[in-house]
């Protein structure tokens, strides 16, 4: 949440700087970049609020917790990126067909500072998101990277316009149009994992294999059947079938199930709940 607040403050400052520089320097690419930073502010606020809800403990109405708020926030961020890209593309085309002055040279200095700042911000926020396993925070980081890419495209476009002179005034508008395509690609990359988490898709990493291995090391477990893993916010939930000696008492089977639960949670602290179903050993069934 702190990393998200840092992004909000920096993006708000950059949006103002780029907007003023773009208007004074006759660069629509820089104005488009300011719009991107402004959308970053809104997106980061959404991520911050989503995280605030996601960390709430389970209650009577939400026995599984509020973790879905986290990927839901990530999906909203992705949709905001799609919207920003569409707006930038529309305005870029309009500027391309409208004659205007060549961008001012000082806009290049502004863009260099923006690119460096946004790239450092991306690395900082992504590292935090990767460490806590947050889809929303990582999507917020990619928002910063897309902003850096937009600024880099604007830098190239303005450079071409300044070097080319008369007839190349629209080069920075073409750069903004190209940047909108890159933003759409990044939005797609963000939407996929968020949608997968919202629909309870299996985690991208091989969690099932590791969980089965831990269960098989518990004394009394003869095999495993079904093993389902899903992510809820920052936590993982596991549904596992374990096979035990069919001659054991209900109490003994229950104790083995608790040992399996404890072993899996100790092996992976991110697992919040393990639901174990005990099945009797059947020699006729292949494990």
The pLDDT tens digits for 169-183 are 778 778 878 878 877
Number of domains in the chain: 2
Output 189-193 pairs: Cβ under 8 A, ≥24 positions apart.
189/142, 190/74, 190/77, 190/78, 190/81, 190/139, 190/142, 190/143, 191/75, 191/78, 191/79, 193/71, 193/74, 193/135
Do 162 and 250 belong to one domain? no
CB 214 within 8 A of CB 267: yes
Check residue 205 and give its pLDDT.
60
CB atoms within 10 A of CB 182: 16
Do 170 and 257 belong to one domain? no
Asked, for residue 285, whether it belongs to a domain, the answer is: no
Q: Which ranges constitute the DSSP H helices of the chain?
A: 2-24, 28-54, 69-96, 106-132, 135-164, 171-198, 207-216, 250-267
Which range (9-13, 53-57, 199-203, 220-224) has the least confidence?
A: 199-203
Asked, for residue 128, whether it belongs to a domain, the answer is: yes
The answer for residues whose C-beta is within 8 angstroms of residue 119's C-beta and 6 or more apart is 144, 145, 148
Last residue of a domain, one of 142, 174, 198: 198
CB atoms within 10 A of CB 218: 18
Asked, for residue 286, whether it belongs to a domain, the answer is: no
Do 192 and 217 belong to one domain? no
283: confidence class by pLDDT, cuts 50, 70, 90: low
Would you list the DSSP string of 125-153? HHHHHHHHT-HHHHHHHHHHHHHHHHHHH
Considering the chain, what percentage of its residues have pLDDT values greater than 90?
Answer: 14
Domain span at residue 176 reads 2-198
The pLDDT tens digits for 83-92 are 878 888 887 8
Do 214 and 194 belong to one domain? no
Asked, for residue 149, whether it belongs to a domain, the answer is: yes
Q: What is the CATH number of the domain that holds 83?
A: 1.20.1510.10
Give yes or no for residue 201 having a pLDDT over 50: yes
Cα separation, 91 vs 76, in Å, equals 23
Asked, for residue 164, whether it belongs to a domain, the answer is: yes
Cα separation, 279 vs 287, in Å, equals 11
Last residue of a domain, one of 134, 163, 198: 198
Give the pair of three-digit tokens for residue 17. Answer: 């700087």
Give this prediction's pTM.
0.67
Task: Decide: helix, strand or coil at residue 38.
Answer: helix
Check residue 171 and give its pLDDT.
81
List the one residue out of 199, 236, 203 whose CA is nearest residue 64. Answer: 236
The pLDDT tens digits for 3-40 are 778 878 888 888 888 888 888 887 776 777 777 777 77
Which range (95-99, 210-214, 238-242) has the least confidence?
A: 95-99
Average pLDDT over residues 65-79: 83
- If 0-12 CB within 10 Å is exposed, 13-18 middle and 19+ buried, where does residue 34 land? buried
Check residue 231 and give its pLDDT.
81
Do 135 and 245 belong to one domain? no
Do 211 and 194 belong to one domain? no
Asked, for residue 287, whether it belongs to a domain, the answer is: no
Q: How distant, in Å, are the alpha carbons of 39, 44, 176 from that of 51?
A: 18, 10, 32
Which range (166-170, 203-207, 257-261, 279-283) has the least confidence?
A: 203-207
Do 159 and 184 belong to one domain? yes
Give yes or no for residue 287 having a pLDDT over 50: no
Which one has a higher pLDDT value, 202 or 52? 52
Do 50 and 120 belong to one domain? yes
Last residue of a domain, one of 167, 198, 229: 198
Q: What is the CATH number of the domain that holds 221?
A: 3.30.70.1350
Asked, for residue 124, whether it belongs to a domain, the answer is: yes
Do 251 and 225 belong to one domain? yes
Do 46 and 177 belong to one domain? yes
What is the 3-class SS of 171-225, one letter each residue? HHHHHHHHHHHHHHHHHHHHHHHHHHHHCCCCCCCCHHHHHHHHHHCCCCCCEEE
Residue 95 CA, distance from chain mean position: 32
The pLDDT tens digits for 120-135 are 888 888 888 887 777 7
Do the strands 235-244 and 223-232 form a parallel or antiparallel pair, or are they unpaired? antiparallel
284: confidence class by pLDDT, cuts 50, 70, 90: low
Asked, for residue 214, whether it belongs to a domain, the answer is: yes
């Amino acid at each position: 949440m702190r990393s998200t607040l840092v992004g909000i403050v920096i993006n708000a400052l950059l949006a103002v700087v780029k907007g003023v520089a773009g208007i004074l320097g006759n660069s629509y690419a820089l104005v488009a970049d300011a719009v991107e930073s402004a959308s970053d502010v809104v997106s980061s606020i959404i991520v911050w609020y989503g995280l605030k809800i996601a960390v709430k403990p389970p209650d009577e109405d939400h026995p599984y917790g509020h973790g879905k708020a986290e990927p839901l926030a990530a999906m909203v961020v992705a949709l905001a990126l799609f919207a920003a890209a569409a707006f930038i593309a529309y305005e870029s085309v309009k500027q391309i067909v409208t004659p205007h002055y060549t961008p001012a040279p000082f806009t290049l200095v502004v863009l260099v500072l923006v690119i460096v700042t946004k790239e450092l911000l991306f690395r900082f926020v992504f590292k935090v998101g990767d460490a806590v396993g947050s889809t929303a925070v990582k999507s917020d980081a990619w928002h910063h990277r897309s902003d850096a890419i937009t600024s880099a495209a604007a830098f190239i476009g303005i450079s071409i316009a300044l070097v080319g002179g008369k007839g190349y005034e629209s080069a920075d508008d073409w750069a903004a149009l190209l940047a909108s395509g890159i933003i759409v690609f990044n939005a797609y990359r963000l939407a996929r994992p968020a949608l997968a988490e919202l629909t309870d898709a299996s985690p991208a990493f091989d969690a099932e294999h590791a969980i089965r291995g831990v269960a098989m090391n518990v004394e009394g477990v003869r095999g495993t059947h079904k093993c389902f893993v899903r992510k809820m916010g920052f936590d993982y939930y596991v549904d596992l079938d374990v096979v035990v000696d069919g001659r054991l008492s209900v109490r003994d089977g229950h104790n083995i199930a608790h040992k399996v639960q404890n072993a899996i949670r100790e092996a992976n602290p991110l697992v919040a709940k393990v639901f174990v179903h005990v099945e009797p050993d059947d020699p006729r069934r292949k494990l």
